[in-house]
Amino acid sequence: QEAECGYVIIVMALYWCTEALPLAVTALLPVLLFPLMNIMDSTTVCQEYLKDSNMLFIGGLLMAIAIENWNLHKRVALGVLRLTGVRPALLLMGFMIVTAFLSMWISNTATTAMMVPIAQAVLDQLHNSELESGTTEQVSENINKAFELQEKSTTPVDSKEIKEEGDFCISFVPWDLDNSHVLTVEEDSKRKEDLEKNHKKFSKGMSLAICYSASIGGIATLTGTTPNLVLQGQVNGIYPDNGNVINFASWFSFAFPTMVLLLILSWIWLQILFLGFNFKKNFGCGLSPSAKAKEEQAYGIIKEESKKMGRMSFAEIIVLILFILLVVLWFTREPGFIPGWATVLFNKNGESYVTDATVAIFFSILLFIIPSGFSNYSREQTGGRSKFRAPPPLLDWKVVHQKMPWNIVFLLGGGFALAKGSEESGLSSWLGNQLTPLEKIPPPAIAFLLCLLVATFTECASNVATTTLFLPILSSMAEAICLNPLYVMLPCTLSASLAFMLPVATPPNAIVFSYGQLKVMDMAKAGFILNILGVLTITLAINTWASSLFQLQTFPSWANKTGT
């Protein structure tokens, strides 16, 4: 049975890497193959496809769809950009912060698709302002200027004669002849080429900043990206007595500082790579009046977009309130350092019946009940009688049907079925025993090497498929060498989101690549260093604050299946 289960995993891994079948269809293979190979009966396999983690994913996405539907995310984005301004380094930081924050709550793909056009509009305005003001800046910073039309001969001619002859040159001469300067066609052309080159370089950096920030931001929350939910589902499935060690609050305490640190390192690296070491220029220190005028013009775009949105509507306010309440209830359910509300309410014999999925589904249902307004009633005439029609709800199923990525639900389920099959067939135990020589290697080195392996693998396969394949094997390995399973499962889950080098690695990369400004080499060069920085950051996190948060230095009783 171990060999048969291994065969299923290899087939699914090949299909996931090559995408010979759609990812969701490949995820359904255990329903067919496990019963045929006598690994698991069909009923047990099918139960793995809609577990608690799937419902948490669906509930979180429904809230994200409501936020997108009412453009609340765009309002947040423009608000932050108005605070940061448009100076190169600060503009880069502003877009990265907004993208990462939004990606914590809505899908990485949707965040990237929204932010890239906004960034392009701002950068284009900056570029146009530089081109328009460039000639004046080349001549002089003074207000009073004069120019002369001169013939090659010294004979003065009027404008009519110039048109007829066509043999003249234009020279721009300042009023103060001591500081005379002639702007030739060659100089003007070279200046425009330099501006165009700098604009393209900054556009590349901004595009990469957005797609990288979307991937980085997703790791901060349990619902931010699918691999996080895969981990929660795998831990709860393999170790049912773990005491809900992975919940929204515990994950946020571990992953949010990691995300912030990695985001700062990414900002510094992209700034060095695409803006250079001229930090005075990057931060806009000592700007000339013309440069300040350029900034104001670009800043005007952001202000204009904000004005177009108008005041917050009733629907936006209600969605924002529901979102804040959802996050608060997620945090306070089982915060760890104090008793949460779930330990007082909705429990029996000390066992809580409520999970993060319960809270997510509760607020999701409210979105279909609460109306989107109270004043926009339409009066209909039916048989001479007036009839009031209530406004639509905050969310309707038509919108959900269009925007919900149902394929991910099957992908999650396929991963859980695969993990269960590995456990039932004994494959996980066999693999763990084969990896016992790793016991001689220090745990930090094990974590670092495994993170590198996963970060490399996820460049070729989807991050969900990567975590689905690796986590059951890693848990068995950890048990075999008496290492806390979370010590390797947590960092490898984060590493699955470090898909920075290739356009095909993750949808945000593909979106920015489709705009045509980037080459594969641009992404590979920036992403390679960022992958290294990411692995080092995660290794640091797992050996410092995560160690005390999850008690990673001890082998937990819930992971001891043998009872010895």
* Chain segment 482-539, per-residue pLDDT in tens: 889 999 999 999 999 998 988 877 888 888 887 777 888 888 899 999 999 999 999 9
Quick check: 222 and 509 in contact, CB under 8 A? Answer: no
Which residues, 6+ apart, have CB-to-CB distance to 137 below 8 Å? 288, 290
CA distance to 106, 184, 392, per residue, from 179 (Å): 57, 16, 69
Q: Does residue 299 lie within any of the structural domains?
A: yes
Token pair recorded at residue 537: 């950051």
Res. 148: pLDDT tops 50: no
C-alpha–C-alpha distance, residues 103 and 508, integer Å: 11
Q: Does residue 36 lie within any of the structural domains?
A: yes
Q: Does residue 185 lie within any of the structural domains?
A: no
Res. 29: pLDDT tops 70: yes
Q: Does residue 158 lie within any of the structural domains?
A: yes
Q: How far apart are the first and last CA of the chain?
A: 26
pLDDT for res 296: 74
Res. 181: pLDDT tops 50: no
Q: Does residue 171 lie within any of the structural domains?
A: yes
20/52 same-domain check: yes
The parent domain of residue 100 ranges over 2-132+192-559
The H-or-E segment that residue 108 falls in is helix 108-139
103/174 same-domain check: no
470/362 same-domain check: yes
Token pair recorded at residue 103: 């990606």
According to the per-residue pLDDT averaged within each range, which of 346-350, 377-381, 553-557 is highest? 553-557
Res. 145: pLDDT tops 70: no
pLDDT for res 561: 67
C-alpha–C-alpha distance, residues 464 and 543, integer Å: 25
366/464 same-domain check: yes
**What confidence tier does 244 reach under pLDDT thresholds 50, 70, 90?**
confident
CA 521 to chain centroid, in Å, comes to 21
Quick check: 282 and 87 in contact, CB under 8 A? Answer: yes
553/419 same-domain check: yes
pTM: 0.73
Tens digit of each residue's pLDDT (9 = 90 or more) over 49-96: 888 878 888 888 888 888 888 888 778 777 777 777 767 888 888 889
43 burial class (0-12, 13-18, 19+ CB within 10 angstroms)?
exposed
The DSSP call for residue 552 is T
pLDDT for res 417: 87
Token pair recorded at residue 162: 């110039």
Quick check: 34 and 421 in contact, CB under 8 A? Answer: yes
Tens digit of each residue's pLDDT (9 = 90 or more) over 297-340: 767 777 887 888 888 888 999 999 998 898 888 878 877 667 77
Final residue of a domain: which of 124, 149, 180?
180
311/369 same-domain check: yes
C-alpha–C-alpha distance, residues 519 and 513, integer Å: 8
128/166 same-domain check: no
Taking the CA atoms of the chain, what radius of gyration do you get in angstroms? 29
50/152 same-domain check: no
Quick check: 175 and 142 in contact, CB under 8 A? Answer: yes
Average pLDDT, the chain: 79
The H-or-E segment that residue 436 falls in is none
155/294 same-domain check: no
According to the per-residue pLDDT averaged within each range, which of 56-60, 148-152, 156-160 is highest? 56-60
174/297 same-domain check: no
* Average pLDDT score over residue span 396-417: 85
Question: How many structural domains compose the chain?
Answer: 2
Q: Does residue 262 lie within any of the structural domains?
A: yes
Q: Does residue 100 lie within any of the structural domains?
A: yes
Between 386 and 193, the more confident residue is 193
Three-state DSSP state, 368: helix
CA distance to 130, 236, 313, 360, 376, per residue, from 292 (Å): 11, 56, 34, 47, 44
pLDDT for res 298: 67
Question: Of 125-134, 149-158, 357-366, which range is least confident?
Answer: 149-158
* Average pLDDT score over residue span 158-177: 43
Res. 140: pLDDT tops 60: no
The 3-state secondary structure of 49-62 reads CCCHHHHHHHHHHH
The DSSP call for residue 149 is E
According to the per-residue pLDDT averaged within each range, which of 47-61, 176-190, 282-296, 534-548 is highest? 534-548
Helix axes 2-18, 427-434, angle to 10 degrees: 80
Tens digit of each residue's pLDDT (9 = 90 or more) over 470-482: 888 888 888 888 8
**Number of Cβ within a 10 Å radius of residue 426:** 13
C-alpha–C-alpha distance, residues 25 and 16, integer Å: 10
**What confidence tier does 28 reach under pLDDT thresholds 50, 70, 90?**
very high
166/271 same-domain check: no
Q: Does residue 301 lie within any of the structural domains?
A: yes
424/307 same-domain check: yes
Tens digit of each residue's pLDDT (9 = 90 or more) over 357-401: 888 899 999 999 998 887 544 555 445 555 667 788 999 999 998
